[in-house]
């Protein structure tokens, strides 16, 4: 029977059963260090909104940069090659509904796209004329597919309230417009760019929580708990199980990182933690932040993440952000809105973003004007057409 052992944490030892050899140091170490595989958060709209936009500063800033930059661009309308300066649709896009202005509306639309890969736009028509535009939260909308697999309608649920909305092209008036990003494994729903950086998002958030918990517990590293009584012997099964339970409840996990142990009766603590330098912890955190920014289409340089030298300077990174991220998002949105509006009204109206108002592309525009201005073989009307102002 093992003698001279007193239970830590203030508990009294129970009568020990006959001696039986148990795990020892290796098993006790695994309890403190943590067992099992990595734990990943969900990839739903709600999970990405909470763990990404609402808890991660890099994801929050990158997503807002894309949404705000895209929402700030005004719209132009064309009937064939002729620009239409006054049209009901342009007025509606400037003030979609009484609660939102144009930039507010499109910032929310692009936020839905980036967080869920889907955005749902409902048009309110009175007498066949489109009067208001409203956005539906993606996690409240589900697709109703027909026998051929194509969407026929959409179910919108809020609590106990349920509405069925016809898909665009399936109703006489304006159906629900579904904008989505490419998803290789789903015919009906889009794929969120932030979901592609889910592992990096979990790594960055877990690192932040771990650091906070470690600082709260005096920044002490983990290690191994060794039982070495002077008279020799091993822990009994009951003693071992109770010690293991105490360690799991009071000292395992990120919340208890670095919490000091109270040891008695032959128990010894052997620190075995690695330093941040050995783990290259800071660089791993920056790598996770870069993955998050790149998944959302924002050059890491624009957010101040060190270690990214892809672009020679800030101006080039900013131009790449507008050209490779903002412009494609605006173009696909304009095409979807034009087709949706034209299917019901029969108008051959084409929406386009006013790229001349993009500050990130001003250098490209200046270079174009300079080249066209030096082209003496072009007439003034041809020069105007070349820069996009018509004849």
> What CA–CA distance (Å, rounded) separates 173 from 124?
9
What integer pLDDT is reported at residue 2 of this predicted model? 43
CA–CA separation, 234 vs 26, rounded Å? 13
**Alpha-carbon radius of gyration of the chain:** 30
* The pLDDT of residue 12: 44
Q: What is the mean pLDDT of each run of 10 residues along the chain (391 residues)?
A: 44 46 42 50 83 92 95 91 88 94 96 95 86 94 88 91 84 83 92 92 84 65 65 73 75 64 66 61 82 93 77 81 94 94 87 86 71 76 68 49
Residue (of 142, 140, 130, 137) closest to 175 by Cα position = 130
**How far is 72 from 103, CA to CA, in rounded Å?**
6
pLDDT of residue 142: 93
pLDDT tens digit sequence for 181-190: 999 999 899 9
Strand runs labelled E in the chain: 75-79, 82-84, 118-126, 129-136, 141-145, 151-158, 161-166, 177-180, 223-227, 267-271, 349-353
What are the backbone dihedrals phi and psi of residue 275, each rounded to the nearest 5 degrees, phi first? Answer: -75, 160
d(CA 116, CA 43): 9
| pLDDT of 238 | 81
Global pTM?
0.74
Indicate the SS3 state at residue 155: strand
């Amino acid at each position: 029977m093992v003698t001279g052992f007193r239970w830590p944490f203030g508990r009294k030892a129970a009568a020990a059963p006959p001696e039986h050899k148990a795990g020892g140091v290796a098993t006790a170490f695994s309890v403190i260090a943590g067992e099992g595989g990595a734990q990943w958060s969900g990839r739903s709209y709600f999970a990405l909104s909470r763990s990404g936009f609402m808890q991660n500063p890099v994801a929050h800033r990158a997503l807002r940069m894309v949404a705000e930059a895209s929402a700030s661009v005004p719209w132009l309308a064309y009937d064939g090659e002729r620009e239409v300066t006054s049209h009901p649709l342009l007025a509606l896009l400037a003030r979609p509904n009484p609660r939102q202005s144009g930039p507010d509306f499109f910032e929310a639309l692009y936020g839905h796209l980036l967080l869920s890969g889907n955005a749902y736009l409902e048009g309110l028509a009175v007498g066949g004329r489109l009067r208001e535009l409203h956005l539906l939260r993606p996690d409240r909308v589900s697709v109703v597919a027909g026998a051929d697999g194509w969407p026929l309608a959409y179910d919108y649920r809020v609590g106990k309230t349920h509405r069925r909305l016809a898909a665009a092209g399936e109703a006489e008036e304006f159906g629900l417009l579904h904008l989505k990003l490419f998803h290789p494994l789903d015919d009906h729903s889009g794929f969120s760019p932030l979901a592609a950086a889910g592992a990096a998002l979990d790594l960055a958030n877990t690192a932040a929580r771990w650091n906070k918990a470690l600082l709260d517990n005096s920044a002490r590293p983990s290690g191994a708990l060794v039982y070495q009584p002077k008279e020799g012997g091993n822990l009994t099964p009951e003693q071992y199980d109770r010690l293991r339970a105490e360690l799991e409840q009071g000292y395992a996990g990120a919340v208890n990182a670095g919490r000091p142990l109270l040891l008695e009766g032959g128990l010894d603590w052997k620190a075995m933690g690695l330093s941040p330098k050995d783990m290259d912890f800071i660089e791993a955190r920056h790598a996770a932040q870069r993955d998050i920014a790149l998944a959302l289409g924002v050059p890491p340089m624009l957010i101040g993440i060190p270690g990214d030298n892809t672009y020679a300077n800030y101006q080039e990174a900013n131009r790449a952000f507008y050209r490779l991220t903002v412009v494609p998002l605006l173009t696909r949105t304009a095409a979807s809105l034009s087709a949706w509006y034209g299917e019901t009204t029969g108008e051959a109206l084409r929406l386009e973003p006013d790229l001349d108002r993009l500050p990130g592309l001003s250098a490209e525009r200046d270079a174009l004007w300079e080249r066209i201005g030096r082209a003496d073989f072009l007439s003034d009307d041809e020069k105007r057409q070349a820069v996009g102002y018509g004849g």
